[in-house]
Amino acid sequence: MLKQVTATRYVEPLHSGGSVPGVVEADDLGTYVVKFTGSAQGRKALVAEVIVGELARALGLRFPELVLVDFDPAIADAEPHQEVRELHAASAGTNLGMDYLPGARDLTPEVAEVFPVDPLEAGRIVWLDALTVNVDRTVHSSNLVVWPTLGVAPPRLWLIDHGAALVFHHRWEGSDPAKAYDFRHHALGRFGPDVRAADAELAPKVTEELLRSIAAEVPDGWLADDPRFAGPDAVREAYVTYLHSRARASRAWLPTDFPSAGELAEENARRAARTRSQRPDWLKRVPDLHGKPAAQQDWSAHLG
């Protein structure tokens, strides 16, 4: 089972994500990024974090340790933002913590230029995302970090943030385990992910026994409010059945069509051109800050 700790000190909120997680210190002397049960994403986001994160670790991918964090809002009384205090007040009790990776750097396109990813490692990550329907690992928001920081040997690629995965659990009825999703804009598509080799390696490892052991890590309280099921164990079994069926149907959903960096650049340019052509006349005279560097230079001249 996931280790249980008690938060002893609230360090700071992280405003980079919509759920506003917080960095806390705990009684095991660890530091964790805590995702709160009271966030707008709800408990299903935490369920996805546990199931996908623990599955990633079981398959040999790098993912920070997860713990269950008992959180008393009183330790964060000094937080100046009212909306964050309200989030804390709604999250008393058991929340989810992820081991904090100090100095980790997001895998942005710029970082990717100097941190190449092996095609097989890229394939394993893409395969996991396709299995768990995690469509939230894109070029613009990779949810991947390099840690230790570049320049410290040896830096490695780590997965984070799977709260948007398992989209099927928002609407169980009619969910097709064999459904294919569009992964052309995956953050690792530029590295030529060898998803076929990953499928041959990983699909046999996704057994019902493994999935049941992972689903058992999810606290009952995060599963008890779904009226479509008789209770938490029935919800757990639904996750097991769906993910096991999806692993067996991998040939139907295996993503293999990844555009090159040049093709992506052309597609982005066409999208920007379409967007600009649809602007009203007065707005067409405003430079596009998301366009080519030259356009940005022209805009900076106007600021000068």
| Angle between helical axes of 43-58 and 208-215 (0-180°, round to 10) | 140
Q: Tell me how long the chain is.
A: 304
Residue range 62-84: average pLDDT?
96
CA distance 33 to 24: 6
From the list 33, 46, 38, the residue with the least C-alpha distance to 165 is 46
Q: Which pLDDT belongs to residue 55?
A: 98
Taking the CA atoms of 96, 99, 100 and 104 in sequence, report the sign of the dihedral they define: negative
pLDDT-based confidence at residue 290 (cuts at 50, 70, 90): very low
Taking the CA atoms of 149, 143, 91 and 231 in sequence, report the sign of the dihedral they define: negative
pLDDT 10s digits, 255-266: 998 887 677 778
User: Residue ranges of the domains in the chain?
Assistant: 3-99, 105-253, 264-290
Q: Which pLDDT belongs to residue 285?
A: 55
Dig out the tokens for 73 from the structure: 């809002």
Q: Which pLDDT belongs to residue 17?
A: 65
Taking the CA atoms of 170, 257, 136 and 50 in sequence, report the sign of the dihedral they define: positive
CA distances from 187 to 67, 91, 217, 272 (A): 27, 32, 29, 20
Q: Which pLDDT belongs to residue 298?
A: 29
Return the higher-pLDDT residue of 272 and 231.
231
Percent share of the chain, pLDDT over 90: 72
Q: Which pLDDT belongs to residue 281?
A: 65
CB-CB contact of 148 with 102 (8 Å): no
Taking the CA atoms of 227, 230, 232 and 233 in sequence, report the sign of the dihedral they define: negative
Looking at the chain, which runs of residues are DSSP E strands?
3-13, 22-26, 31-35, 66-71, 93-99, 105-106, 144-147, 156-159
From the list 148, 206, 201, 154, the residue with the least C-alpha distance to 177 is 206
pLDDT-based confidence at residue 162 (cuts at 50, 70, 90): very high
CA distance 126 to 255: 8
- For the cut 80, the answer to whether the pLDDT of residue 279 exceeds it is no
Q: Which pLDDT belongs to residue 224?
A: 80
Amino acid code (one letter) for 213? S
Residue range 109-115: average pLDDT?
90
CA distance 175 to 167: 9
